[in-house]
Structure 1
Amino acid sequence: MSVSPGQPVPDFTAAATGDTTITLSELQGQQVVIYFYPKASTPGCTTEGGDFRDHKAAFDAANTVIIGVSRDGLRAQENFKAKQGFNFALISDKDEAVCQLFDVIKLKKMYGKEHLGVERSTFLIDTDGKLAREWRGVKVKGHVEEVLAAAQALHAG
């Protein structure tokens, strides 16, 4: 199952950093960026998270919450967040419930072997809880700036 742009995103609740849980419906009235990354503390994921961190004030100004998601456990997420100084929540999605909702588990190849993993993807949800934009198979360089521009445009109406 996958959500298409213009459709409401099904509600979910997930464990996040800082001993919190995130429930999507509780964020209604704000725009939400949910970005999925393969693995905490790996180079691409560190760069992407750092880009979101560095642009957080601009996302805040556009009434947009940032949430990162991977299949890492909470301890790994807490360490990643602390080490990189991330100023937004990270969801631990070990059971892949949130990943499945957005259909980001894909067959990937690494060193010639196939395995199921998280495809780097980002989703922008509008203030009514509908999917406004999606980016799949993301390349990190310049990506956060593109997401920010879309969030700002959506916020401006």
Structure 2
Amino acid sequence: MSSVTIGEPVADFSLPATGGETIRLSDFRGRHLVLYFYPKASTPGCTNEGLAFTELHAAFREAGAEILGASRDGVKAQENFRNKQGFTFPLLSDKDEQLCTQFGVLKEKTMYGRKSVGIERSTFLIDRDGVLRQEWRGVKVPGHAEAVLEAVQALANG
């Protein structure tokens, strides 16, 4: 279950990230934030999603937004993923599932007849005051980064 609601402030969080950083939501006050969750580093869909956000990163910044990616992978796996793909934004390591639980992105999945709990590809747009403005759940990668950019631009233009 999610503890985030559209139109409500998002509780601050603090997680280890690539680049040896610890990142907090409060670090982004005054800028919009795109927080996207992906199932697993270095997999094809997650790579394509990260590359799409990287390709549009300059446009997101022009619209006053930063991007963060998050998964349950450890910092080392995130660092390798980011470096190999040339992502231009930090990746968060949520090994203890604190952030995944806060945003309600853990879902039961079935693959090859086996049930497991994994991250449902999801994206959240948080405004410069820390309020959740929009969410996308069950994301399909093609065209998604562009749709998020449009939402950021609409938010920036008031």
TM-score (norm 1): 0.99
What CA distance in whole angstroms lies between the structure 1 residues aligned with 2:100 and 2:64? 24
What CA distance in whole angstroms lies between the structure 2 residues aligned with 1:108 and 1:2? 21
Cα RMSD (Å) of the superposition? 0.6
What pairs with 1:8-157 in structure 2 (closer than 5 Å)?
8-157=9-158
Cα displacement (A) at 1:3:
0.8
What CA distance in whole angstroms lies between the structure 2 residues aligned with 1:35 and 1:112? 27
| Local SS of the residue matching 2:110 | strand
Unaligned runs of 5+ in 1: none
Which amino acid in 1 is paired with 2:20? D
Cα displacement (A) at 1:4:
1.2
| Local SS of the residue matching 2:139 | coil
What CA distance in whole angstroms lies between the structure 1 residues aligned with 2:47 and 2:112? 21
What CA distance in whole angstroms lies between the structure 1 residues aligned with 2:27 and 2:21? 13
| Local SS of the residue matching 1:18 | helix
| Local SS of the residue matching 2:19 | coil
